[in-house]
Structure 1
Amino acid sequence: MTRPLRIQYPDAWYHVMNRGRHQEALYCDNKDYTVFIDLLQEAGAIWKIKIAAYCLMTNHYHLLMQTPQANLDRCMRHINGIYTQRFNRRYKTDGQLFRGRYKAILVDAENYLLELVRYIHRNPVGAGIVRRPEEYRWSSHQGYLSESDNWQWLYKEFILGMLDEKKAGQRKAFLDFIGQSDSEEIQEFYKKKNLPSFLGSNEFIEKIKTKYYKIKKHKEVPQSKNLEPAIKDILKIVSVAYKVDEERLLKMRRGFNNEARNVAVYLSRLNTGKKLDEIGAAFNIENYSTVSSIIVNMRKRSNVDKVLAKRLRQIDQAVKGQRQT
């Protein structure tokens, strides 16, 4: 029996969940939690998703995300697949980590978005782990209370704006709202043994079914996929920015030229949606793990090197401009 296709369309909101196989732990220590959160940031950058809330429990996770490019499946394959690889490599195990395909509930954002942020942030409270959401480290609740740049990747301004249009009152409004218990409707919904695929009004559900059940049968390639730039376009833009020949970007070298090559690799991952081995083949890199290391190192460097970060933004904008022409 084939599993049903998910309904995916631009700007859809989803509550995504998954559990460890046989209720086993997904996160064994702080490093595991951190690796997964880093993956969320990476996925947001690569797949252009907007993560508004998350909560990582020992054996399961909750994510609230919007997909401007209708690419939930590709994004979640990246998150679950890469995390499984890193978990297995670290603990010298192999095989399946998650119990199966993730659960994604399509959300009526107009009526339920705020309630889902509260439900996700209060998950540790409901489990009896903490008394207040702010006491739990591994959720996005801390990000909503922080003004640090480390949380810029979290799509929180939109949520806070729903609570109070004035920035000065948003933090208090957020704490007051999260401090309340989940509504009876939300509690009853998530008590169900088999969760429905939709959380929304009857009007919302009928609208989605009528519009998208027919469309999904055709399995059309999203327009965003057709607009993805080719690696050759990125090579051209990077070669101009760094004033080096495109051929040099395809060879390992030390120094400034190697930075140009690494930038091209990094932006190829960020903008094309290509797999690591596909990017490696384009740059004559034999091992996909080398590609992964380049991407991780570039991200870390850009967090501390302002000159590099500025250059990356400029080149990335040029790449996006190329895609839109």
Structure 2
Amino acid sequence: MPRPERIEYENAYYHVMNRGRDRGRINLFHSTLYFQTFLQTLEEAVHRFGIIIHAYCLMTNHYHLLIQTPQANISRAMRHINGVYTQRHNRLAKSDGSIFRGRFKSILVDSDAYLLQLTRYIHLNPLETSRPMVKELLDYSWSSYPANVNGVKKPDWLECEQTYQMLGRKKRYEAYARFVAKGNKESLTCFYNRGNIASVIGDKDFIEWLKSVKIPELKLSEQIRASVPQGATIGKIVDGTYAYLNKSYDLFRLLSREQDKAISKRNIAIFICQDYGGYSLRKIADYFGLGHVGSVSRLTSIIRSELKQNKKLKCKINEICQYIVKRVT
């Protein structure tokens, strides 16, 4: 049975889970050091991939994360988190091999309807085991709940403001504690108790928007990405981009003055190498002589922001990709 495709788009929200291998019988976290190491890995992913963590809970043999992806990169970010933590876990345990049961499970979340409920669901995990792990959630150190209620200092990389805003109350710490104490809604519990959890949780409008608008749009983008063949090296992509733009000056008439410098020929080539060519930030940085992969991420983010409001620019970049295809095939 084929694996369901992940739906990835900018600023999507996901409830992400994974378990230890052998049906969860293998522990992921053996001591405080392992928990701390996973949180360190999570923090690194926030800075490297620009993801936003709204809630987390690390249990002995599995974890829950509530992640927002401004850069539409949940697969890349989680591949890094699981891969790097596996290496660090094995180094600490003096072992080798996989520690996870398989690829991570992600549920696309309708943030308007379910974000607040899901933070509660995630935070209640230590109390909802067959034998509760603590008497009070505030006593469980390996979830974001203590930070949400001001029981401990909040990590800089944890985002709590959206949760507080959705509660709509002034006394945010007390309000969130009361909200969690009410327990999960029965409908949400039923959703997660299904044998095969659906890949999306949302209201009817959200589901309809996905089906009729977002998924067709993503499929079109995927077709365009596929138009840059695998044989296109970074050098060929760059040469094709420059060749097209040297003949087509109308692209730069589409840009505002503020974007003239940010969206140069070089930076468009960098964007196409990463977004359409699929090359890693490291390889692109090395090719262009950039000192840090963060420079590539920053430049591509600028172009993505401009693409959101500039449809003509998006069409022009698609034309460049088609031009590259003709040159290398």
> Which range, TM-score by smaller chain?
0.5 to 0.7
CA contact (8 A) 2:148 2:154 kept: no
Output the CA distance in 1 between the equivalents of 2:4 and 2:73.
Answer: 16
**How does 1:182-221 map onto structure 2 within 5 Å?**
182-218=184-220, 219=222
**How does 1:126-145 map onto structure 2 within 5 Å?**
126-127=128-129, 128-145=132-149
**How does 1:173-184 map onto structure 2 within 5 Å?**
173-184=175-186
Structure 2 residue runs without a partner (length 5+): 226-233, 235-273, 304-329
Q: Which residue of structure 1 aligns with residue 302 of structure 2? A: 324
Output the CA distance in 2 between the equivalents of 1:186 and 1:84.
Answer: 31
Q: CA-atom RMSD, angstroms?
A: 3.4
The correspondence for 2:174, drawn from 172, 175, 183, is 172
Q: Of the two, which has the highest radius of gyration?
A: 2
Alignment TM-score, normalising by the size of structure 2: 0.67
- Is 2:21 aligned against 1:17? no
> SS in structure 1 opposite 2:65?
strand
Output the CA distance in 2 between the equivalents of 1:84 and 1:274.
Answer: 24
CA contact (8 A) 2:149 2:174 kept: no
CA contact (8 A) 1:5 1:216 kept: no
Shift of 1:89: 1.9
CA contact (8 A) 1:54 1:120 kept: yes
The correspondence for 1:95, drawn from 87, 92, 97, is 97
Amino acid at match of 1:46: R
**How does 1:93-172 map onto structure 2 within 5 Å?**
93-127=95-129, 128-146=132-150, 151-166=155-170, 169-172=171-174
Query: After superposition, what is the alpha-carbon deviation per residue over 1:8-66, rounded to whole angstroms, capped at 9, x for unaligned?
Result: 11111110000000111001111100010111111111111110000000000000011
**How does 1:47-62 map onto structure 2 within 5 Å?**
47-62=49-64
Shift of 1:323: 6.3
Shift of 1:215: 3.5
Output the CA distance in 2 between the equivalents of 1:283 and 1:150.
Answer: 38
Alignment TM-score, normalising by the size of structure 1: 0.68
Q: Which residue of structure 1 aligns with residue 3 of structure 2? A: 3
CA contact (8 A) 2:21 2:102 kept: yes
> SS in structure 2 opposite 1:4?
coil
Output the CA distance in 1 between the equivalents of 2:301 and 2:124.
Answer: 41
Output the CA distance in 1 between the equivalents of 2:107 and 2:300.
Answer: 35
Percent of pairs identical after alignment? 42
Output the CA distance in 2 between the equivalents of 1:150 and 1:132.
Answer: 18
Q: Which residue of structure 1 aligns with residue 47 of structure 2? A: 45
Structure 1 residue runs without a partner (length 5+): 222-229, 231-270, 285-293, 296-315
Output the CA distance in 2 between the equivalents of 1:111 and 1:323.
Answer: 28
CA contact (8 A) 1:7 1:212 kept: no
Alpha carbons of 1:29 and 1:276: their partners in 2 closer, same or farther (altered >3 Å)?
farther
Shift of 1:164: 2.9
Alpha carbons of 1:76 and 1:195: their partners in 2 closer, same or farther (altered >3 Å)?
same
**How does 1:278-317 map onto structure 2 within 5 Å?**
278=283
Amino acid at match of 1:153: W
CA contact (8 A) 1:14 1:107 kept: yes
> SS in structure 1 opposite 2:10?
coil
Shift of 1:143: 1.4
Output the CA distance in 2 between the equivalents of 1:49 and 1:174.
Answer: 23
